[in-house]
Amino acid sequence: MALANCDLCQRMFDAWGGQRRCQPCLEAQERDWKVVREYVKSHPGTNILVVADATEVPERRIREFIMAGLLEPSQMTGAHYPCRKCQGPIATGEYCPTCLGRLGRDIASSLDTVKQKKDDEAFKQRTNGFANQYRSKHR
């Protein structure tokens, strides 16, 4: 058990996999994503605002899908958003390729942290191992 507050509805849920959203929210998101994906497929070259209007999925959520790599920003106009570092226009991820190159090392290490969290049991065992080593050294 690893209780956490859902990012979207703030309810407590069991984040055993390190996820930040509860199951009902994830399912609602998946439904939204499918609706948006279908709409974009049948309306190539549409605008993100038109998609939001037609599917009743908030524009912010559509952008989240794009940032998560679930939608192709090239399929609609207005889907670019600023790089988190230099504010240049990007269509995927959180940083432009230039900043990404610079940040590569940081991101690789943060991905390692995520992997560790997912592997909750192994992570706990490792932590206990460190604690035991520490205790035996400093006894």
Give me the residues that bind Zn ion (CB under 5 A), please: 6, 8-9, 22, 25, 83, 85-86, 88, 96, 99
Q: How far is the CB of 43 from Zn ion (least distance, A)?
A: 30
Q: How far is the CB of 103 from Zn ion (least distance, A)?
A: 9
Question: Which residue, 110 or 133, has its beta carbon nearer to Zn ion?
Answer: 110
Question: Which residue, 9 or 111, has its beta carbon nearer to Zn ion?
Answer: 9
Q: How many residues does the chain have?
A: 139
Q: How far is the CB of 17 from Zn ion (least distance, A)?
A: 15
Question: Which residue, 57 or 96, has its beta carbon nearer to Zn ion?
Answer: 96
Contact between residue 69 and residue 33 where contact means Cβ atoms under 8 Å apart: no
Distance CA 89, CA 113 (A): 28
Contact between residue 67 and residue 94 where contact means Cβ atoms under 8 Å apart: yes
Question: Which residue, 32 or 39, has its beta carbon nearer to Zn ion?
Answer: 32
Half-sphere exposure of 4 (CA within 13 A, CB side): 14
Q: How far is the CB of 97 from Zn ion (least distance, A)?
A: 8
Buried b (16+ CB within 10 A) or exposed e, 2-19: eebebeeeeeebebeebb
